[in-house]
Chains A and B, each alone.
Chain A
Amino acid sequence: MSATLERPEIRDTGLLRQSMVIVRRNLIHIKRMPEMLMDVTIQPVMFVMLFAFVFGGSIQTGSPSGYREWLLGGIMGQTIAFASFVVAVGLTADIDKGIVDRMRSLPINPAAVLVGRSISSLLHSSIGIVVMSLTGLVIGWRIRGSVFDAVLAYVLLLLWGFAMIWVGILVGSKMRSVEAVNGVMFTTMFPITFLANTFAPTENMPTALRWLAEWNPISALVQAVRELWGNTSPVASDAALPLQHPVLTTFIWTIGITVVIAPLAIRTFRHRTQD
């Protein structure tokens, strides 16, 4: 009674190849359900339209080139902050449906599940950055700084997106359902991205709120991007310290968030899936 079945050779293709197999699967998802991209296409474009044309007329920014140009950095900051949202929703759905368990039962590097999810989420958010750049060009946004500064601004956005991935993994591992993720993310990410310099300058806010907004890490990112693209005049001399040095602050924040949240996120993911 010997087994005569053909047993194929199982090869360890390594973390990167395994992650890319998962990325490809996630991209097929986007192809099948293009509405998944609404959060990085229609939604931010709507925000641009809303703020540029509806509220914009009554917002004073002190920017030399007008509100629309000033607005774009803010929308970019919000879009990339929502990368955490994208990761969390995708991860929770995969855990919930048992896809993560199936992958963990295979002879692959267990990190591939998270790396694959992170890469595809970063791609997802990058689409948003491209869409926002194009929308900006249409409504009059221009890059007025050097090429190096312009590229640095995009790098900062991606770095921020990288830090947000860990937040997404943490929330995605903690929450039991996609609905719960939506609830948590809406009630936290929306206030965080609005209580900042994203859509209106902080100078006119009440003192306590202004202090909060100026120390909000999103504000540093947005200020950095605006300065590097030449879309704003320097901040008021009484602005909080982070806004005086926005590029440096953004680097510190992304490193800080990653160092603190990443181990926590991985531990939560392990706890959720191994127990």
Chain B
Amino acid sequence: MSSPPAIEADNLVKHFGDTVAVDGVSFSVPEGTVLGMLGPNGAGKTTTVRMMTTLTTPTSGTARVAGHDVLREPGAVRRSMGLTGQAATVDELLTGRENLRLIGGLYGLSRSYITRASEDLLERFSLTDAGNRIVKTYSGGMRRRLDLAVSLIATPPVLFLDEPTTGLDPRSRVELWDVLRELVREGTTLLLTTQYLEEADQLADRIVVIDKGTVIAEGTPLQLKDQSGKAAVVVTVSDVADLPAAEKLLRSQVSEVHIDEASRQLTAAANGLADMTRIASVFADSTIELDDLGLKRPSLDDVFLHLTGHRAEDADEQPEEEMVP
């Protein structure tokens, strides 16, 4: 059962001059699962991925991909993984098919295989019709899909995606998510970095939260949400006149109640489902009419705020590449 992890970061450190970009990052990703690396711009996500994909030499520490050490067997690492970088790194002057042929040719794949795999990939990414068009004419979403297709030409067991949906419109984002889910179903191990909490929530089995070059939290999306404070019961009354009565009733059950008249909502800190069921039955016995009663778990946004003291989006806007001297 316990096969070695597909990806392992072992105390990775990277300094650029006096700047510490990554400061001792460790984690492991079991085969066939998705790890979401979550953090704001400049947190060290890209640098971590670059070290794990042999592009940058770590200042100290190491990483293993499919059991191969990035420092001692970089060739074996490159044979076992695909990388889709932050900017869509496809060749703008080549057609989609030529891009696939270029990378397939560099992998040393046979010509017949490249042709077959290219057609499969183009179809899978809905690019068959655009296959002979120059990439310059592609939309942002098409470029991203082609970028991913190119990374898959040699069917690597491990895939690194650095902010795969940054700059995409919501529809393209959801489409890309579907493709990624399918890849994972087929057994690919995925590491993706993202600034979007929703993306990590949607795709990842486990999440590591990175800020200022260190891992500040790790767990399943649910664990992280639980970690950052309690859930809350939200009660919406039908008639605003019932608010005082509802408040009184709630206070008999829990100590802290917050009232929002505009939305006719009362929010009470709760310890999960048990509290909610109890409160629901109390209201059912009363004469107060309710529109809604539910349990609200903290969002990953709240998690992020809780962990770092700042929101993911309004972290300093320095693009991470700028850290390279």
Contacts and interface: CB of A to CB of B under 8 A. Distances in A.
Interface of A: 1-13, 17-18, 21-22, 25, 28-29, 32-33, 97-99, 101-108, 112, 273-275
Nearest to B109: A8
Nearest to B89: A98
12 contacts: A3-B187, A5-B155, A8-B154, A9-B110, A10-B107, A32-B134, A105-B55, A105-B81, A105-B83, A106-B106, A107-B79, A274-B55
Contacts of A112: 106
Contact of A6 (B81, B87, B107, B155): B155
Contact of A2 (B56, B93, B187): B187
Contact of B109 (A5, A9, A105): A9
Contact of A103 (B106, B113, B186): B106
A25 B154 contact: no
B79 A105 contact: no
Contact of B157 (A3, A106, A275): A3
Nearest to A94: B91
Contacts of A22: 106
Interface in B107-163: 107-110, 113, 117, 134, 150, 154-155, 157
B107 A101 contact: no
B217 interface: no
B55 A104 contact: yes
Given A8-B109, A28-B94, A107-B75, A99 B186 contact: no
Contacts of A275: 16, 56-57, 324-325
Contacts of A103: 106
B98 interface: yes
Contacts of B20: none
A28 B93 contact: yes
Nearest to B16: A275
Interface residues of B, number: 43
Contact of A11 (B53, B109, B150): B109
A31 B150 CA distance: 22
Q: Is the interface of A mostly helix, strand, loop or mixed?
A: loop
Nearest to B92: A97
B78 interface: yes
B103 A28 contact: no
A13 B114 CA distance: 15
Tell which of B108, B154, B186 has the most Cβ of chain A within 10 Å.
Answer: B108
B41 to A, nearest CB: 17
B104 to A, nearest CB: 9
A80 B117 CA distance: 42
A11 B155 contact: no
Contacts of B57: 274-275
A92 B109 CA distance: 28
Contacts of A99: 89, 91
Given A10-B79, A10-B107, A25-B102, A3 B186 contact: yes
Contact of B108 (A7, A11, A25, A29): A11
